[in-house]
Amino acid sequence: MTKISKICILGGGTAGWMTAAALSNKFKGLGLSIELVESDQIGTIGVGEATLPHIRFFNQALGIDEREFMKSTHATFKLGIEFCDWGQLGDHYVHPFGDYGFPVEELDFHQLWLRLKSGNKVPRLDEYSYPIVSAESGRFQLPGPDTNQIGSNFGYAYQFDSSLYAKFLRTYCERNGVIRTEGKVTSAVRDPGSGDIRAITLEDGREIEADLYVDCSGFRGVLIEQTLETGYDDWSQWLPCNRAIAVPSEARGQLLPYTRATARTAGWQWRIPLQHRTGNGHVYWNEFISDDEATAQLMSTLEGPALAEPKQLFFKTGRRRKFWNQNVICVGLSGGFLEPLESTSIHLIQEGVTALIELFPDAEINPLDRDEYNARMALNFERVRDFLLLHYVATQRDDSEMWRYFRNMELPDSLNEKIEAWITRGYLLKYEFGVFLPPSWIAVMLGQNLMPKGYDPRADRYSESQLLTEFARIQRETVGAVDKTPDQERFLAQYGAKTDTARLVADRADLRGQ
Amino acid sequence: MTDPSRTIVVYGGGFAGHLVAAACARSLGGAARLILIASDQAGREDVLYGNASAPTAYDFFRSVGLDEPTLMMQTGSAFSYGTQFTHWPGAPSSWMQAYHLPLPVLFGVPFQHFLTAEKEKLEPYLVSAQAALKGAFAHPPEDPKNPLSRAEYGYQFSISDLTHALVRLNDQREVTIIETGVRDVHTSGGQIASLVLEDGQQVEADLFVDCSGADRRLIRALDVAFHVERTLCATHEIQSAGQLGPPRRTIAATQHGWSASTPLQTSVETLTITHPDSASAERGASHTFETGTLERAWAGNCVAVGHAAWGIEPLTAAPMILVQRDVERLLDLIPLSRDNTVEAREYNRRFEDDLAHANAFQRALFATDALPSTPYWQAAAAVPPGEKLERKLAQFRSRGIFVRFDLEPFNEEDWAILHNGMGLMPERYDRQVDGVEAEALGRQLTGIKQAVAQIVSKMPPHHVYMSNMKRYLEKQKHG
């Protein structure tokens, strides 16, 4: 079987450089040449500034030093996401990266909590989560090695400047021999027999031939859609938000180790604290709010002066019918779009790259490789979609057209069954493959006031005083562990991850104070 | 919120009935009133739970009140590294279907790819397989540097001795045991209204658990169909043994089926499975049984557990894994009120998945063109493999990767060992293998094999380990 000798990656955003980095690392010394084509004229989207804990394993596999990476990308630590105004106006909760409490024998902690809560004997479930309590007080430290210890039983991710991450990875890639070509693709040459892409043509007439193409060209999907016409499954009936406005602002106040997502009347707004600035954005459904209004809402709620002109983005939620079609694999936004409510954009890139490495084909592509890739990625996307949709439907809000739309929505069966089982008895329909595991579902459902009507009867086999003692211990130890945790800013400095760049200050009079 | 008047009636005096009663008593505490109608024996098919359990049995048995010392002291059970398949059609040689922790990842690449590249067998790398073949046993140590820490083990047992241990447990617990038989099952609107006993007494309950084996007495009354896959013939024999044999079952394939031999502390149990049309099925105390599945295991207020819900050949630990999962599913979903729509739907969803996944694993044993043309083998081959198994086989054959589905009863190692045992050799291996320096790889592979062989050579024979352990437990009890 002839091996692939040349890969061409189209697009140099986060997706393109993550793909190039992973491939160049894994297939180092194996006679695989990687060429990445990008154009300085085409901007990158870079919405995914907040990540999930899995990114750490991606970086570790590349042998990236955490401190160096954090300094270069002005990264902060992330313990979870705070959701404001989702269940009802005025509500807020944190979706943490970690479990609540500890299971007792075969029983989940939240079942015991539900029993005690039904008698009003305990505070909110959040008090038994170290990452939540720590996040709320702006503190951070790395988890210790023993995950049975309070203060070590959590995961963490980063908030970073994704364009700086792409730049950081570019340096890494170039050291690994990845060729970067500046240029804009104008057309593709297809093999008349197989239909595969044989070459791509750049604006200046240059042709690049490769065995395999990774399309990281963003929403346009230059190869996967414009050339191969693969088709797109439109999911806007479930997730109708279709536009966003993004703007950076001056960082103000304490550097928080979490992302914030605040529900609005026709969408929601993100706030991502980086070391040197804060990223902000408003995701909305243009059916119910004008672009001007959406921009005004965003600008009026910034904590500090804007550092640039607001940038507008257009999208359609859904996924490409085939993530791998012919000899083209689409990674990143060319593969599909799911709003960044749970920081899944970069994660889905990572899933795509990891699956490509495991299913890396030969020059003559075995259709089985393609089938398996497509099946896996489809499942990943669908499971994320259901989890995002949960945020919109697990709510009591009906104060605007958008929220009333969700109230009347008929849910996918998979999601409906999950919600019903939770409401009936705090039961979680579990799956093994998919990024959001039970604690995430608990966080959102409880956080948005879906209080189960019952609980697992096995919780009744313990005496109440026995349980209360155990609960008090966990709560006490959680507070104790958080007391010993430094403020994030101090930890960044101690750890050696503090960036040399000072906090950015708006210097243009026309932008100040908007 | 919990209704203390909740009553659960378990119907069936065999293994499943006593297991469900014991598990509910232990798990629910006083949260339900438990009645076990133990008059009707579940019948001869209890032997079809087989003689083997998977590594998950350690926690499971402990959770119902039978911890490992109790099993060893009271039930004559033994340790088990798995099953050795011999003369299996299509397999290049015999192999040890052993229990093992995840295989090593070398140079960032999953282990299977090195086996493919080097055209090597998996078995010499498996400490549990090597110990089983040698007849040795020792508990896996906690020290991850010790190669024996990668071994996993289940148990070899006699189902009737296991049932007796559960009977003793239930005698001590708050379980009302009724010895009177059931005369009638009254239904109304897709629910069981009551059971009428031989003495005229009526028994009502919030939930009925049908553990009546192939009789399916309760669930049948609700018109739930059982889809028959195959009809087979089983013969069960027990011979006494002077000394405990190796910590493995042996399955020998024959022209007309197969025969499993399981060493226990003082006996050897033999179970022979054939097709009813085979001449060999006529001899001895054989009985026929059906493999297949209920269209749904939870209907109305009735849940069928064990052989009342499914029939599966005891070729692997699948029957014990399934009955364990039946119990776990039931305990996870004990209804909170008369309206159990949510519980029933979720139970049936998990049930279907578990059955499909367990069946896929065993069906893979017949995924070869080399099956004999006799009725047993041809009937097995005639069962459609299903989409999931086809995808698993195709991907392994193509490039040595494992397609996984949510929460399968058999893990990736089980599948790796099975594919290797059946002689499947992937057509391709991961390209990263070519980047590994041959000498460094050779050193690693030889190193693992040697470490395994060395530790196994120091392990005591199964019977010696067992008698030492029992002596120790005895002393502890009296000390």
Q: Are B264 and B158 in contact (CB under 8 A)?
A: yes
Q: Tell me the H-state helices in B98-232.
A: 111-118, 127-134, 159-172, 217-221
pLDDT of residue B1: 36
Q: ipTM for the complex?
A: 0.95
pLDDT at residue B281 above 70?
no
CA A167, CA B474: separation in Å to the nearest integer? 68
Confidence label for A513 from pLDDT (cuts 50, 70 and 90):
very low
User: Least CA distance to A26: which residue of chain B?
Assistant: B432
Look at residue A149 and tell me whether its pLDDT is greater than 60. Answer: yes
Checking if the pLDDT of A324 tops 80, the result is yes
Q: Give yes or no for B108 touching A (CB within 8 A).
A: yes
Quick check: A304 pLDDT over 50?
A: yes
Looking at residue B138, its pLDDT comes to 98
CB A1 within 8 A of CB A364: yes
Check pLDDT > 80 for residue B113: yes
Task: Catalogue the E-assigned strands of B212-266.
Answer: 226-240, 249-254, 257-263
Where in the sequence is the domain holding B327, given as residue range(s)?
7-421
How many C-alpha atoms does B205 have within 13 Å on its Cβ side? 28
> pLDDT confidence of B5, banded at 50, 70, 90?
low
Cβ within 8 Å, pair A30-B432: yes
Check whether B42 has a pLDDT greater than 70: no
- State whether A417 and B333 contact (CB < 8 Å): no
Residue B441 lies in a domain: no
Find the mean pLDDT for residues B279-307.
87
Q: What is the pLDDT of residue B31?
A: 81
By the CB < 8 Å criterion, does B142 face chain A? no
Provide the number of structural domains found in chain B. Answer: 1
What does the alpha-carbon distance between residue A55 and residue A53 come to, in Å, rounded to a whole number? 5
Q: Is B468 helix (H, G, I), strand (E, B) or coil?
A: helix
- The SS3 assignment for B286 reads strand
Residue closest to A281 by CA, chosen among A255, A265, A261, A253: A261
Domain contains B54: yes
3-state secondary structure of A339: coil
Summarize the confidence of residues B405-413 as an average pLDDT. Answer: 98
Task: For A415-453, write each residue's pLDDT tens digit.
Answer: 999 999 999 999 999 999 999 999 999 999 999 999 999
Nearest residue in A to B394, CA atom: A368
Contact A372 B403 (CB under 8 A): yes
Tell me, yes or no, whether B285 lies in a domain: yes
Q: Is residue B449 part of a domain?
A: no
**CATH number of domain containing B147:** 3.50.50.60
Q: Phi, psi (5° rounding) for residue B309?
A: -105, -30
Distance CA B477, CA B466 (A): 16
Inspect the interface and report whether the beta carbons of A30 and B435 lie closer than 8 Å: yes
B435 touches chain A (CB under 8 A): yes
Half-sphere exposure of A353 (CA within 13 A, CB side): 30
Give the per-residue pLDDT at B419.
98
Q: Which residues contact A413 (CB under 8 A, 6 or more apart)?
A: none
Beta carbons within 10 angstroms of residue B189's beta carbon: 6
Edge-to-edge strands, sheet with B267-274: B95-98, B82-86, B249-254, B257-263, B267-274, B226-240, B286-294, B310-311
The residue written with tokens 């039931």 in the block is: B330
Question: Mind listing the pLDDT tens digit for each residue in A81-140?
Answer: 999 999 999 999 999 999 999 999 889 999 999 999 999 999 999 999 999 999 999 999
From residue A148, give the alpha-carbon distance in Å to each of A100, A132, A151, A181, A435.
12, 17, 9, 49, 22
**Can you read off the two tokens belonging to residue B447?**
């190193």
Number of residues written out for chain B:
479
Contacts within 8 Å (CB) and 24+ apart, B58-66: B58/B154, B60/B324, B60/B327, B60/B328, B61/B155, B63/A105, B63/A106, B63/B23, B63/B26, B63/B27, B64/B19, B64/B22, B64/B23, B64/B26, B64/B166, B64/B169, B64/B327, B65/B22, B65/B26, B65/B169, B66/B162, B66/B165, B66/B166, B66/B169
Instruction: Return the half-sphere exposure (C-beta side, CA atoms, 13 A cut-off) of residue A372.
Output: 29
Contact B404 A26 (CB under 8 A): no
Separation between Cα atoms, residue A332 and residue A350, nearest integer Å: 9
B39 and B181 Cβ atoms separated by less than 8 Å? yes
Query: Tokens 């983005």 correspond to what residue?
Result: A313
Q: How many CB atoms lie within 10 A of CB B442?
A: 12
| Residues of A whose CB is below 8 A from B395 | 368, 372
Print burial letters for A382-404: b (CB count within 10 Å at least 16), e (below 16). bbbbbbbbbbbbbbebeeeebbe
Q: What is the pLDDT of residues A186-229, one digit of tens each?
A: 999 999 999 999 999 999 999 999 999 999 999 999 999 999 99
Task: Please name the residues in contact with B6: beta carbons below 8 A apart, sequence gap of 6 or more.
Answer: A457, B31, B32, B33, B206, B207, B334
Q: Kindly report, residue by residue over A387-405, the tens digit of the pLDDT.
A: 999 999 999 999 999 999 9
Summarize the confidence of residues A157-171 as an average pLDDT.
95
Burial readout A184-197 (b: 16 or more C-beta within 10 A, e: otherwise)? ebeebebeeeeebb
pTM of the model: 0.96
**Contacts B391 to A, Cβ<8 Å:** 372, 375
Cα atoms found within 13 Å of the Cα of residue B124, Cβ hemisphere only = 12
Calculate Rg over the CA atoms of chain A. Answer: 24
Using alpha carbons, list the distances in angstroms from residue A40 to A43, A44, A172, A183.
7, 9, 19, 8
Averaged confidence pLDDT in chain B = 95
Q: CA of A454 to nearest chain B CA: how many angstroms apart?
A: 7
CATH topology for A6-75+160-236+317-366 is FAD/NAD(P)-binding domain (3.50.50)
Which of A303, A287, A283 has the alpha carbon at shortest distance from A295? Answer: A283
- Residue B309: what pLDDT? 98
Asked whether the beta carbons of residue A432 and residue B407 sit closer than 8 angstroms, the reply is yes
Residue of chain B with shortest Cα separation from A111: B332
Domain boundaries, chain A: 6-75+160-236+317-366, 243-314
Yes or no: say if A225 and A324 are a contact pair by the CB < 8 Å rule. no
Indicate yes or no: CB of B401 within 8 angstroms of CB of A358. Answer: yes
Give the strands of the sheet with B191-197, arranged side by side: B182-188, B191-197, B202-203
Per-residue model confidence (pLDDT) at position B2: 39
Distance CA A87, CA A131 (A): 21
Question: Whole-number mean pLDDT of chain A?
Answer: 95
pLDDT of residue A42: 73
CA-to-CA separations, A244 to A158, B44, B87, in angstroms, rounded: 22, 68, 65
A105 chain-B contacts, CB cut-off 8 A: 63
Residues 16-35 of B with CB under 8 A from A: 27-32
Asked if A418 is an active-site residue, the reply is no
> Residue A7 carries which DSSP code?
E
Euclidean distance between CA atoms B304 and B323, whole angstroms: 10
